[in-house]
């Protein structure tokens, strides 16, 4: 369906948990303020909401978290989601630590793609950013490689930080062997992230252009998201940049978010949302839930306010929202 500004909303990010086995500095450095299990939507509740979202024209679903693969039976849930009427695409965003053991199951479930978050291949730096142990960056990369070999399209997501800038070229070189696109993401001032220094995609592109002199923008469409892509004749993969903070892409925003506690969020930047769990658990009909979702989509704000941090009202971390 279209929102009040005429934007086609066809993409839902579904957070299945707020828990995570990492402690990324820009997301949940001190762990989550855990909500009780009873407040997290059960898979059958999530499937019901996704089915209703599909009836409103949402065709693409991203399963996220917290760490989605840390929730038991997540891959089975994704398979069920993929089989719902109207669902065209189901993809996963994961930190990759538990991915290696799930590759066959993901392929069998019909998952259409996996985004693996890997900010750097420099192991000590990766451990410092995420709280992972030594060797984990290689383990994550190996899991991404296993996915690509199993025929599942893979992208690497890298949040830009001052200490990862020196590793952007080697990350792209490694990803190109799979091949997997790498998307460099500006850190957004959500939750504890505000305390870390900001690096723009321009800084990353300068480093990359110094290495691949012919790097040029391409109009290729390579996903559902806001990334702009660049290509070089020397690369099979593409380099994407997500400049949410320095530029913004709200006029073309196609997405809404469902938190693991069942709140439908029309914009990342603001705390406003619709408590679908309360409506669902009060015995509402599908029609009432559909109406509540449609009203939430209709009220989607025109743009985020990351440029003026004081205006942002969202206080939760990305692990609660799903990125």
Interface residues toward ligand SAM, by CB under 6 A: 20, 26-27, 64-65, 67, 93-95, 117, 157, 159, 185, 187-188, 190, 193, 318-319, 322-323
CB 148, CB 102: distance < 8 Å: no
The two tokens of residue 181 are 């696109």
Pick from 24, 121, 158, 235 the residue near ligand SF4 by CB under 6 A: 24
Of residues 75 through 114, those in contact with ligand SF4 by CB under 6 A are 95
Question: Can you give the length of the chain in residues?
Answer: 323
DSSP H helical segments within the chain, as ranges? 43-55, 74-82, 103-109, 123-130, 136-149, 168-176, 201-211, 276-281, 286-298, 318-321
What's the min distance (Å) between Cβ of 28 and ligand SF4? 5
Least CB distance to ligand SF4 at residue 85 (A): 30
Nearest distance in Å: CB 65, ligand SF4: 6
C-alpha to C-alpha distance for 260 and 64, rounded to whole angstroms: 9
258 binds, among ligand SF4, ligand SAM, none (CB under 5 to 8 A by kind): none
Shortest separation between residue 316's beta carbon and ligand SAM, angstroms = 11
* Beta strand pairing call for 263-265 and 274-275: antiparallel
Concatenate the DSSP letters of all residues of 50-103 into one string: HHHHHHTT--EEEEESS-GGGSTTHHHHHHHHHTSTT--EEEEEE-STTTGGGH
Is 67 one of the binding residues for ligand SF4 (CB under 6 A)? Answer: yes
Contact call for residue 260 and ligand SF4 (CB under 6 A): no
The site map against ligand SF4 for 190-209 (x = CB under 6 A) is --------------------
The answer for 128, left when phi > 0, alpha when psi is -120 to 50, beta otherwise, is alpha
Q: Choose one: 16-24, 194-202, 275-283, 287-295; the region binding ligand SF4 (CB under 6 A).
A: 16-24
| Nearest position to ligand SAM, beta carbon | 323
Under a CB-based contact definition with an 8 Å cutoff, are residues 60 and 88 in contact?
yes
Burial 236-246 (b: 16+ CB within 10 A, else e): ebbbbbbbbbe
Under the criterion CB under 6 A, does residue 293 sit at the interface with ligand SF4? no
61 is in the binding site of which of ligand SF4, ligand SAM, none (Cβ under 5 to 8 A by kind)? none
Please report the DSSP string for 301-323 in residue order.
Answer: -S---TTSGGG----S-HHHHT-
Interface with ligand SF4 includes 244 (CB under 6 A)? no
In the complex with ligand SAM, which residue's Cβ is closer, 26 or 229?
26
Contact residues for ligand SF4 (CB under 6 A)? 20, 22-24, 27-28, 65-67, 95, 117, 318-319
């Amino acid at each position: 369906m279209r929102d009040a500004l005429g934007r086609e909303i066809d993409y839902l990010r579904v957070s299945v948990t707020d828990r995570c086995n990492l402690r990324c500095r820009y997301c949940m450095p001190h762990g989550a303020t855990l909500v009780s299990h009873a407040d997290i939507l059960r898979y059958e509740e999530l499937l019901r909401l996704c089915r209703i979202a599909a009836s409103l024209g949402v065709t693409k679903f991203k399963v996220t978290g917290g760490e989605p693969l840390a929730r038991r039976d997540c891959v089975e849930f994704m398979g069920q989601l993929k089989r719902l009427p109207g669902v065209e695409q189901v993809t996963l965003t994961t930190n990759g630590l538990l991915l290696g053991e799930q590759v066959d199951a993901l392929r069998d479930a019909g998952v259409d793609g996996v985004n693996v978050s890997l900010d750097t291949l420099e192991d000590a730096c990766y451990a410092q950013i995420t709280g992972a142990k030594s060797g984990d960056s290689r383990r994550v990369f190996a899991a991404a490689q296993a996915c690509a070999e199993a025929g599942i399209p893979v992208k690497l997501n890298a949040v830009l930080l001052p200490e990862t800038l020196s590793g952007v070229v080697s990350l792209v070189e490694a990803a190109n062997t799979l091949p997997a696109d790498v998307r460099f993401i500006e850190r957004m001032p959500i939750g504890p992230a505000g305390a870390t220094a900001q690096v723009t995609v321009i800084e990353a592109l300068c480093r990359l252009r110094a290495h691949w002199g012919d790097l040029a923008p391409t109009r290729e469409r390579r996903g559902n998201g806001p990334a702009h892509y660049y290509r070089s004749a020397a690369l099979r993969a593409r380099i994407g940049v997500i400049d949410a903070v320095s530029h913004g892409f709200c006029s073309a925003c196609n997405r809404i978010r469902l938190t693991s506690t069942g709140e439908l969020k029309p914009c990342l930047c603001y705390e406003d949302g619709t408590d679908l769990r309360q409506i669902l658990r009060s015995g509402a009909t599908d029609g009432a839930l559909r109406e509540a979702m449609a009203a939430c989509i209709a009220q989607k704000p025109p743009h985020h306010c990351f440029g003026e941090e004081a205006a942002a009202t969202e206080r939760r971390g990305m692990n609660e929202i799903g990125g």
